[in-house]
Chain A
Amino acid sequence: MPSSKPSEKAWTQRLTDFLPRALGSEGDDPLQHLQRVSAGETAIMMLSALGIGLVCGLLAIGLNASVHAVRGALGGSEWGPWVILFPAAGMGLAVYLIRSLMKDFAGHGVSDVIQGMAVGTKSLRRRMIASRFIGSLLTVGSGGSTGLEGPIVCVGGAWGTLIGRWLDMNERRKRLLIGYGVAGAVAGIFNAPLTGLIFTLEIIVGEYTALTILPTIIAAVSATEVSRLLAGNKITFHHEIANFSPTSLVACIALGVLTGLLSVVFVRSLPWWESVFARLTERLWIRAATGGLLVGLLGYWFPEILAEGYVTTQAFLTAEVRPTLLFVLGFVLLKLVACGVTLGSGGVGGVFAPSLVIGSGVGLAFGMGLQLLPLEGIAEETAFALTGMTGMVTGVMHGPLTGIFLVMEATRGYSLILPLMLTASSAMVVSSYFESGSVYTRELIARGHLMRRGTDRYLLHTLNIRDILDRDFDILRDTMLLGEFVEVFKHAHRNYFPVVNKEQQCVGVVFLDDVRSYLFDSQLYPLVTMGTIMRNLPNIDLQEPTDEALEKFETSQVWSLPVVENGRFLGMLSKSTLFDHYRRELQIQET
């Protein structure tokens, strides 16, 4: 629903409908006309995506550069043991600012965006742009062991809806704009346009049409170009790619299984840490500061686990100084803990970077282990560090395409595609054996909030029972006698009659079939009241979800049920009307 008056926003309406109107030449064949209108809509959405992508690229580069600047100032050795306190201060301050000043909740970003796609763009608010930006800057800048991608995805999504609100777009378009924002953010921060596109389609939107794909491409391209102009065409991970022997390919399947299992451990550890910190104190900023202190202590002895950790990953990939197997294993373990503590205590960040970094460590350790075996022609261990990244990302996000394209683009290495694909698929199958949803969706699934457009649950959710109520009824009182009913029945055109009591509450329904054979027994007229002959049917409450209402039709096996609001009778809902509207809704939403 547009919040402002139509007249004030008339020019934005004209703007967003300009192309569809200009291109859809009236008078043609109606189907051709419609085809042109929708092509015009796609074009106008592509233009909007350009604006969104440019800004998202800027935001992504801005966040990345700021964090690097802060890390550069705080990460040096001149601070001595004081570094222990940095994450505590940063995370405590981040949570305090977000909760008290910005009145936002510190979610983990991507799930908020997915929820916005499902239940409505209202949940993605303008203040999220600032709160997530500053929150992640403080968290990661001070050394919190998490990534910037989750928050920047949320920032991008919120920016997308903001543009949609500004252009006075409808809800469907605003939800599309969320996706464009996400693509821009991911493409900008990784300097990887394909990843931005794939991540958006696979993880966020889950719908493949011209309206979702083409503008997303524009957003990804524009964000990447902005990032390249400002920060240079950097390759995130340098790697000299060796050729993969068939034996190494088989090993990739094993690595996929390993990373799949580890991703399950990682995903499950996050709510566990959350519950640990939830028991600690009610004050959220103290929770975060305590978590920060723990991370700071770990980081004092093992500084590699602090912040995003891409520097360590880069070291693993180039392997100029070969780390020992023990160091790599210790790094993986401590990074898992540090990231769990950071996110569980309420730090603002995502799981993208930790997954990549942990994956590179696991892959490297796996590769080093293989070198100890008497096998011929095994690829060097750094190559497995790369495929490990794909496996971990796939397992955590349940997005094999995202895992494959991210690593391929981040290393500019198409020649690695076969091992990446193998690792991703085996990691995915292992992870989905244990987890029904990704790290982003498992909670939404548990709460029943994951609804994609066009699915049964979403269709039922969008149906408004009040709209399809049948109110054209003769309503009977429970005290009415059969003799009086006979008079009503003479003029009735329905074969069932809702019965209400003194308080207008629906107490049952009288079916003509039940009483038909007694209607002409005049001796019964003064003896039978409606209350004694009605059937007690379950009432559908207007507040309850439509799928529960449908269940009542199934249990009671009747075609029509009374609908009440706060106990008061409103009307009857018939199964046939419901399905009539259900089908129409499906036709509308069908792509």
Chain B
Amino acid sequence: MPQLLTLPEAVKLLRVPATTLQRWIRLGEVPCQMRNGEARFQKNTLLAWAKKKHLFVGKTSGITQQRQQANLLAALERGGVHAKLSAENRGVLFQDLETRLNAHLHTNAPLATLLEEREQLASTAIGQGLAVPHPQTPGMLELSDSVVAIGLPKIPVEFEAADGEPIIAVFVLLSVDATHHLQLLAQLTRLLRNPELMGFLHTQPLPDALLEAFRKSLDSAAH
């Protein structure tokens, strides 16, 4: 028994307005059967017809399909806090981050190279001893959702920051697409303007306490 489609189903398949399809039925342009005054379409026939007429029935690649709003807290929780990173210089820091994050996220990405490439364009240091390193192209790590990982180096690292301050904490931003990238980056920089949080970061906090502080700060910002 061939699959019979109703008018709304055919509308969805052909992606034309219902009124257009109804007009085609009336004019006899589209192959269909009438059952009790209602049009029914044999799926195979309809698809073949659409192909012959060069109508497009395939799936869209989803470029315009918006992902959900990025959630910074969830991204931070996914990323976790990675303390006591080797920090002789920026390269060593990135190497250690690569090892730790690949293990944490179950990925196998050349993270150090990607981060260093971006750093060559312009420093991702945002002042006051903080930096937001990220790969130049979002979505390269094939993560299911965006991740922000906090890295705390053993000793401050030189990052060519505009204010000359060495870096005491990095927020590695691994976003799944451009939209998330912008949203997370904006939320993060806004959050890091909070003086209380900044002060707390400089006290060399424990990982759990640090995440808790972010959670509180984001909660209060939401209310």
Interface residues of A (CB under 8 A from B): 456-457, 478-479, 481, 514-515, 518, 521, 523-524, 526-529, 531-538, 547, 550-551, 554-558
- Which stretch (B36-44, B89-97, B102-110, B132-140) binds chain A? B132-140
B189 pairs with A532, CB closer than 8 A: no
Query: How long is the Cα–Cα vector from A528 to B182 in the complex, in angstroms?
Result: 8
Residues facing A in B115-159 (CB within 8 A) are: 118, 121-124, 126, 132, 134, 136-138
Residues on A with beta carbons closer than 8 Å to the beta carbon of B74: none
Residues on B with beta carbons closer than 8 Å to the beta carbon of A456: 54
Identify 30 residue pairs between A and B in the complex whose beta-carbon atoms are under 8 Å apart, listed by A's number.
A481-B121, A518-B186, A521-B189, A521-B190, A523-B126, A523-B190, A523-B193, A524-B186, A526-B122, A526-B162, A527-B132, A527-B185, A528-B182, A529-B121, A529-B136, A532-B137, A532-B138, A532-B181, A533-B178, A533-B182, A535-B63, A535-B178, A554-B58, A555-B56, A555-B58, A555-B59, A555-B60, A555-B61, A556-B60, A557-B63
Most buried by B among A515, A547, A557: A557
B126 pairs with A557, CB closer than 8 A: no
Beta-carbon nearest neighbor of B178 in chain A:
A533
Beta-carbon nearest neighbor of B132 in chain A:
A527
Q: Is B179 an interface residue (CB 8 A)?
A: yes
Interface residues of B (CB under 8 A from A): 54, 56, 58-61, 63-64, 118, 121-124, 126, 132, 134, 136-138, 162, 178-179, 181-182, 185-186, 189-190, 193
Shortest Cβ gap from B216 to chain A (Å): 22
A533 pairs with B189, CB closer than 8 A: no
CB-CB under 8 A for A527 and B178, given A532-B134, A554-B60, A556-B63: no
Query: How long is the Cα–Cα vector from A481 to B186 in the complex, in angstroms?
Result: 15
A554 pairs with B56, CB closer than 8 A: yes
Residues on B with beta carbons closer than 8 Å to the beta carbon of A514: 178-179, 182
Residues on B with beta carbons closer than 8 Å to the beta carbon of A558: 63-64
* Chain B facing A: main interface SS: loop
Query: How long is the Cα–Cα vector from A529 to B60 in the complex, in angstroms?
Result: 27
CB-CB under 8 A for A527 and B58, given A533-B181, A534-B178: no
A524 pairs with B122, CB closer than 8 A: no
Shortest Cβ gap from B17 to chain A (Å): 16
Beta-carbon nearest neighbor of B62 in chain A:
A557
Contact of B186 among A521, A537, A555 (CB under 8 A): A521
CB-CB under 8 A for A527 and B124, given A532-B178, A534-B178: yes
Query: How long is the Cα–Cα vector from A457 to B178 in the complex, in angstroms?
Result: 37
| Nearest 10 pairs of A and B residues by beta carbon | A554-B56, A523-B189, A533-B178, A557-B64, A557-B60, A555-B61, A531-B136, A479-B121, A556-B63, A532-B181
Shortest Cβ gap from A481 to chain B (Å): 6
Beta-carbon nearest neighbor of B125 in chain A:
A526
Beta-carbon nearest neighbor of A480 in chain B:
B121
Query: How long is the Cα–Cα vector from A555 to B122 in the complex, in angstroms?
Result: 35
Shortest Cβ gap from B192 to chain A (Å): 9
Residues on A with beta carbons closer than 8 Å to the beta carbon of B182: 514-515, 518, 524, 528, 532-533
Residues on B with beta carbons closer than 8 Å to the beta carbon of A535: 63, 178
CB-CB under 8 A for A527 and B136, given A532-B178, A555-B58: no
Most buried by A among B54, B61, B124: B61
Query: How long is the Cα–Cα vector from A70 to B215 in the complex, in angstroms?
Result: 100
Q: A523-B190, A555-B58, A557-B60 are in contact. List 18 more A-B contacts (CB 8 A).
A: A479-B121, A481-B122, A515-B182, A518-B182, A524-B182, A524-B185, A524-B186, A526-B126, A527-B126, A527-B189, A529-B122, A532-B137, A533-B181, A537-B63, A538-B61, A551-B56, A557-B61, A557-B64
Shortest Cβ gap from A462 to chain B (Å): 15
CB-CB under 8 A for A547 and B54, given A479-B121, A557-B63: yes
Query: How long is the Cα–Cα vector from A524 to B60 in the complex, in angstroms?
Result: 32
Query: How long is the Cα–Cα vector from A551 to B54 in the complex, in angstroms?
Result: 9
Shortest Cβ gap from A582 to chain B (Å): 13
Query: How long is the Cα–Cα vector from A531 to B137 in the complex, in angstroms?
Result: 6
Residues on A with beta carbons closer than 8 Å to the beta carbon of B58: 551, 554-555
Contact of B54 among A457, A534, A555 (CB under 8 A): A457
Shortest Cβ gap from A292 to chain B (Å): 41
Residues on A with beta carbons closer than 8 Å to the beta carbon of B59: 555
Residues on A with beta carbons closer than 8 Å to the beta carbon of B136: 478, 529, 531-532
Query: How long is the Cα–Cα vector from A558 to B136 in the complex, in angstroms?
Result: 24
Residues on B with beta carbons closer than 8 Å to the beta carbon of A479: 121
Beta-carbon nearest neighbor of B137 in chain A:
A531
Query: How long is the Cα–Cα vector from A526 to B127 in the complex, in angstroms?
Result: 11
Shortest Cβ gap from A513 to chain B (Å): 10
Query: How long is the Cα–Cα vector from A537 to B185 in the complex, in angstroms?
Result: 23
Query: How long is the Cα–Cα vector from A521 to B185 in the complex, in angstroms?
Result: 11
Query: How long is the Cα–Cα vector from A554 to B186 in the complex, in angstroms?
Result: 32
Residues on A with beta carbons closer than 8 Å to the beta carbon of B178: 514, 532-535
Shortest Cβ gap from B59 to chain A (Å): 8
Shortest Cβ gap from A366 to chain B (Å): 34
Shortest Cβ gap from B108 to chain A (Å): 22
Beta-carbon nearest neighbor of B134 in chain A:
A532
Query: How long is the Cα–Cα vector from A523 to B124 in the complex, in angstroms?
Result: 11
Beta-carbon nearest neighbor of A531 in chain B:
B136
Beta-carbon nearest neighbor of A552 in chain B:
B61
Residues on B with beta carbons closer than 8 Å to the beta carbon of A521: 186, 189-190
Query: How long is the Cα–Cα vector from A457 to B126 in the complex, in angstroms?
Result: 55
Residues on A with beta carbons closer than 8 Å to the beta carbon of B54: 456-457, 547
Query: How long is the Cα–Cα vector from A456 to B137 in the complex, in angstroms?
Result: 39
Residues on B with beta carbons closer than 8 Å to the beta carbon of A557: 60-61, 63-64
Most buried by B among A456, A518, A536: A536
Contact of B61 among A478, A526, A556 (CB under 8 A): A556
Shortest Cβ gap from A437 to chain B (Å): 13
Residues on B with beta carbons closer than 8 Å to the beta carbon of A478: 136
Query: How long is the Cα–Cα vector from A167 to B58 in the complex, in angstroms?
Result: 49
Shortest Cβ gap from A505 to chain B (Å): 14
Residues on A with beta carbons closer than 8 Å to the beta carbon of B138: 532
Residues on B with beta carbons closer than 8 Å to the beta carbon of A528: 181-182, 185
